[in-house]
């Protein structure tokens, strides 16, 4: 961290950051959009803050540019950062716009799309280690070995936090009657900045943070009074999978954040799909976590004006496929049926006809004869079927059973 934490981040620092972010080609003012569909689900007035439409696809450029622009003025012209994706792109764009060089250290597991995008913003990318912690250690060592290179931390830096706080100013200016804002938490820099701004501008607005269950650190950190770090994280929301917060962000969360809730990966998956269907927005897991929170039983927003922050839209297409399959399976819109048959002519045609009579689409079908519990002359037919939902799926299964076949739903066990 480049500056002292002895004095808490002030609203004045956020105001100065806002003045620096006056170039629409670096950071643009992202819109808000009312979602009547989500509002009906939670009985609230829901406004989505569309930060995923930022140039780099996330909020990270705000903090990065606020820090790097000042450091370049002070004579620094080379920067290094560790990131799994969004911070990488923010630092790369900010450094390039300021005429500086940047080296981004990313885990070898980082999505190729994010690696390519980071290089596209002008950075040199080095792939090191298997996770964020490995990349972080390497990047910090690299900066320590070079006197003329500055390390840009993703959240443990006053200037980074102040830059992210400009989002809080926008959220208030665009909807000053906010009852609740919901912000995803990874390392805590985003919610620290936003909560500092909002508590100055609208003290009665409730600020709620949300973490993924597999990367949760805030509750334990608050209980013990020191930042706690996970040795491993397990969540589809890679943007908030830092596995820890800092003393700086812990202090600010303690001071300004009213509540922190957690959501599961299944809840995040459902929120991604719901945003696709109802809001026509493609967001990554970290962004969807804020919507997952208001849909969950952990957070009551009934009757309120609430703003979930869609913090990023850099969703890897492989992850999107995984999320969609999971969500469609949960809704029973994608079935894997195992039907036990006597392995004689016409059985596949007969069962396929029953499925077709229900207007369902068979994606794949195959025989499986090499299963121990089958007797001689038996086989399993394995169907992957698209349905319109749970009721449709149930009617298909019941019809096949009525024809005398034993049916198992293999992806719902």
**Degrees (nearest 5) of the Cα angle 245, 249, 250?**
75
Query: How do residues 379-394 score in pLDDT, each as one tens digit?
Result: 999 999 999 999 999 9
Strand ranges, E, within 58-157: 78-82, 101-106, 124-127, 150-151
- As a whole number, the mean pLDDT across the chain is 94
- Whole-number pLDDT of residue 318: 86
- pLDDT score of 2 more than 50: no
Do 11-58+158-326 and 331-412 share a fold?
no
Q: Is residue 5 pLDDT above 80, yes or no?
A: no
In sequence order, which residues have a C-beta less than 8 Å from that of residue 312 and are 6 or more positions away?
A: 51, 52, 57, 58, 59, 60, 86, 239, 283, 284, 286, 287
pLDDT recorded at residue 4: 42
- Give per-residue pLDDT as tens, 49-90: 999 999 999 999 999 999 999 999 999 999 999 987 799 999
What pLDDT was estimated at residue 413?
59
Neighbours of 96 (CB within 10 A): 17
Report pLDDT for 324. Answer: 87
Class of domain 11-58+158-326: alpha beta
pLDDT digits (tens, 9 = 90+) for 149-191: 999 999 999 999 999 999 999 999 999 999 999 999 999 999 9
Calculate mean pLDDT across residues 30-50. Answer: 98
CATH classification number, 331-412, choose in 3.30.70.260, 3.20.20.70, 3.30.428.10, 3.40.50.1100: 3.30.70.260
Mean pLDDT over 273-302 rounds to: 96
Q: Give the model's confidence band at 3: pLDDT under 50 very low, under 70 low, under 90 confident, else very high.
A: very low
* pLDDT tens digits, 99-149: 999 999 998 988 788 899 999 999 999 999 987 778 889 999 999 999 889
Percentage, residues of the chain above pLDDT 70: 98
Task: Return the domain boundaries, the chain.
Answer: 11-58+158-326, 60-151, 331-412
Asked if residue 1 has pLDDT above 60, the reply is: no
Residue keyed to tokens 């992806």: 411
Q: Tell me: pLDDT of 411 over 90.
A: no
- Reading the block at residue 361, the tokens are 């689409």
Fold for the domain defined by 60-151: Rossmann fold (3.40.50)
């Amino acid at each position: 961290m480049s500056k002292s934490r002895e004095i808490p981040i002030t609203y004045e620092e956020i105001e100065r950051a806002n003045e620096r972010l006056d170039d629409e080609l670096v950071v643009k003012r992202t819109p808000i959009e009312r979602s009547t569909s989500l509002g009906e689900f939670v009985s609230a007035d829901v406004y989505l803050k569309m930060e995923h439409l930022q140039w780099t696809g996330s909020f990270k450029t705000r903090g990065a540019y606020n820090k790097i622009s000042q450091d370049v003025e002070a004579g620094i012209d080379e920067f290094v950062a560790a990131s799994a994706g969004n911070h990488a792109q923010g630092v790369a764009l900010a450094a390039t716009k300021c005429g500086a060089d940047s080296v981004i250290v990313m885990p070898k597991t980082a999505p190729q799309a994010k690696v390519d995008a980071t290089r596209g913003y002008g950075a040199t990318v080095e792939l090191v280690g298997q996770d964020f912690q490995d990349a972080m250690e390497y990047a910090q060592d690299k900066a320590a070995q070079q006197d003329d290179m500055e390390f840009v931390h993703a959240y443990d830096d006053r200037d980074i936090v102040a830059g992210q706080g400009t989002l809080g100013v926008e959220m208030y200016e665009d909807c000053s009657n906010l009852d609740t804002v919901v912000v995803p938490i990874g390392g805590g820099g985003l919610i620290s900045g936003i909560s500092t701004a909002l508590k100055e501008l609208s003290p009665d607005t409730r600020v709620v943070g949300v973490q993924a269950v597999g990367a949760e650190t805030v509750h334990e950190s608050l209980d013990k009074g020191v930042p706690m770090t996970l040795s491993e994280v397990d969540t589809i929301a890679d943007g908030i999978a830092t596995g820890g917060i800092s003393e700086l962000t812990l202090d600010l969360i303690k001071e300004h954040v009213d509540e922190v809730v957690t959501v599961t990966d299944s809840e995040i998956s459902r929120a991604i799909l719901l945003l696709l269907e109802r809001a026509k927005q493609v967001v990554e897991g970290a962004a969807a976590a804020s919507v997952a929170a208001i849909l969950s039983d952990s957070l009551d927003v009934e009757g309120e004006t609430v703003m979930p922050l869609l913090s990023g839209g850099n969703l890897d297409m492989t992850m999107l496929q995984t999320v969609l399959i999971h969500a469609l399976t949960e809704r029973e819109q994608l079935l894997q049926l195992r039907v036990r048959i006597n392995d004689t002519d016409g059985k596949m045609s007969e069962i396929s006809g029953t499925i077709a009579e229900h207007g369902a689409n068979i994606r794949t079908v195959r025989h499986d004869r090499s299963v121990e519990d089958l007797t001689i002359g038996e086989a399993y037919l394995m169907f992957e079927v698209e349905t319109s939902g749970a009721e449709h799926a149930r009617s298909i299964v019941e019809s096949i059973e009525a024809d005398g076949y034993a049916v198992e739903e293999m992806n719902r066990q």
